Homo-oligomer: A and B are copies of this chain.
C-alpha cells in the first residue's frame, strides 16, 4: 500500500467550482532549472537529517531508488528564496536577511521537514512531509495553516514545472482528518489541465499507509511569462 499510495495515480479532485483568476499571488520562484539537482549550491535542506523518522527515511529511500530509474527527480531546497533562482548573482539582487517561509525554523525536526520529487512525464510532484512540534494547531496536530503551506508549496512546484514563473490565484482545501505532529504524510499533486496561462492542479494529503486521506485541494495558478518558462524547461531536461 505504501508504494501504491506514493506512486499510484492521483484520484481526481473536486472541480467545476467557479474561480477568480484575474488576480494572483506569486509563489517562490523556483524555476524548472531549480527543479533539477545541481552541484555547487548552498546547503540543501531536502536531505535526510537526524530528526527524520523511520517512515520518512523509508519513503525517501524508495523515491530515491526511483530517481535512479529516471522517472523521478529530487527537488533541492534552500532556506533563502534567492538561492532557488538560477543566475541570481547576475540579477544584482541585494542580499537580505530573509528566509523561505518553509525553511524559517532553524532547528532540525521541529519545523517543516520535507523533500519533494518531480515526475515530469506525469506532471506530478510528491512531497514527503514530517510536520514538527513547532507547527502545532490543535494539541498534538499540525496547524491547518501549515498544511495549507505545504500544499501551496508542493502544488506550486508542480505548476512551475509546466508553466515556469507562476502565481497562485486560488487555493481551496478540504480538511478531512488532522495530521499528527511527527507523523509522515504524502502530499501528492498533479496538473489537471492547462488553458492558456491558467494551470489547474489538484492535490491529496495522505498517510504513509494510504489509509487516511487527511486533506485534498484544488488550485489555480497563473503563468507569468510563457516564452521564458518554456526555454527554462527545455534547458532543464
Chain B neighbourhood of A169, CB < 8 A: 174-175
Which chain B residue has the least Cβ–Cβ distance from A145?
Answer: B149
The digit string for A140-166, where 1 denotes a CB below 8 A from any CB of B, is 011111111111110010000000000
> What is the number of residues of chain A that contact chain B, defined by CB distance less than 8 Å?
64
Contact A153 B145 (CB under 8 A): yes
Per-residue contact bits, chain A 98-127, to B (CB 8 Å; 1 contact, 0 not)? 111110110000110000000000000000
Chain B, residue nearest A104 (CB): B134
Contacts A28-B138, A96-B133, A139-B29 known; A176 to B23 CB distance under 8 Å? yes
Which residues on B sit within 8 Å (CB–CB) of A144? 25-27, 149, 152, 156, 168, 171
Contacts A104-B134, A137-B26, A144-B25: A173 and B172 contacting too (C-beta < 8 A)? yes
Within 8 A of B (CB), among A74-115: 81-82, 85, 93, 96-102, 104-105, 110-111
Q: Report which of B152, B175, B181 forms a contact with A167, defined as CB distance below 8 A.
A: B175
